[in-house]
Amino acid sequence: MSPLLQGLLLTSLLVSGAGESRMLADFSESPPSLAWRVVNDSVMGGRSEGDFQLEDHSLVFSGRTNTDGGGFSSIRSETRRFDLEAFDGIRLRVRGDGRRYTFRLATWDTRGERRRPSYWADFETGGNGWEVIDVPFRRFRPRWRGRWLEGPKLDPRAIDGLGLMIYDGEDGPFRLEVYWIRAYREGGRD
């Protein structure tokens, strides 16, 4: 079955499970529902290269990591208030290369503090075609300027940015295709 036909079939299943998930980024639209930008480890003197493009109704995040430096490449969405309090996590439809990726959430400051941690959770890709991956909010951990923090815990109401990153400690090429990104509720496998 072609990726486009699979996507249409999956979209019809999502519609039938109304209320169980919310579309956050749909790359089958032209232009896509969110604007994205690249942040590579060159911001700290690293040598990794990464970029994204739209290809066959998907966002393709690809490049080459180099651990002699920062060792990461990332893409981040525009800032937008998502208010995902009613949801339990992020669901992605992806085709990966077998490497480990990180989903990154940015938040606006709800506590009156000056720093705004981002929240990271890793996910593995199978490298064997399209798959749907769930990343529950409970797995996201706060980071600030490369350091893990003890808290605060992720507040889904405060999410205002999405991101994908490769930071798996390996050198070499990477390629992750993303068809869509949704927020989901537990028990509602749509």
Domain spans in the chain, listed from the N-terminal domain onward: 3-184
Position 32 scores a pLDDT of 75
Q: Sign (positive/negative) of CA torsion 35, 55, 137, 63?
A: negative
**Residues with Cβ < 8 Å from 15, sequence gap 6 or more?**
none
Task: Report the distance separating Cα 174 and Cα 190, nearest Å.
Answer: 28
CATH 2.60.120.430 fits 3-184, yes or no: yes
- Read off the pLDDT of residues 145-182 as tens digits, 9 standing for 90 and up: 778 999 899 999 999 999 999 999 999 999 999 999 99
- Classify each residue of 10-33 as buried b or exposed e, where b means 16 or more C-beta atoms within 10 Å of its C-beta: bbeebeeeeebbbebbbbbeeebe
**Residues with Cβ < 8 Å from 108, sequence gap 6 or more?**
81, 116, 158, 160
Task: Report the distance separating Cα 171 and Cα 56, nearest Å.
Answer: 27
State yes or no: pLDDT of 18 exceeds 70. no
Q: Which residue has the higher pLDDT, 9 or 103?
A: 103
Position 13 scores a pLDDT of 37
Cα-Cα end-to-end distance for the chain:
19
Share of the chain above pLDDT 70, in %: 85
Q: Which residue has the higher pLDDT, 44 or 184?
A: 184
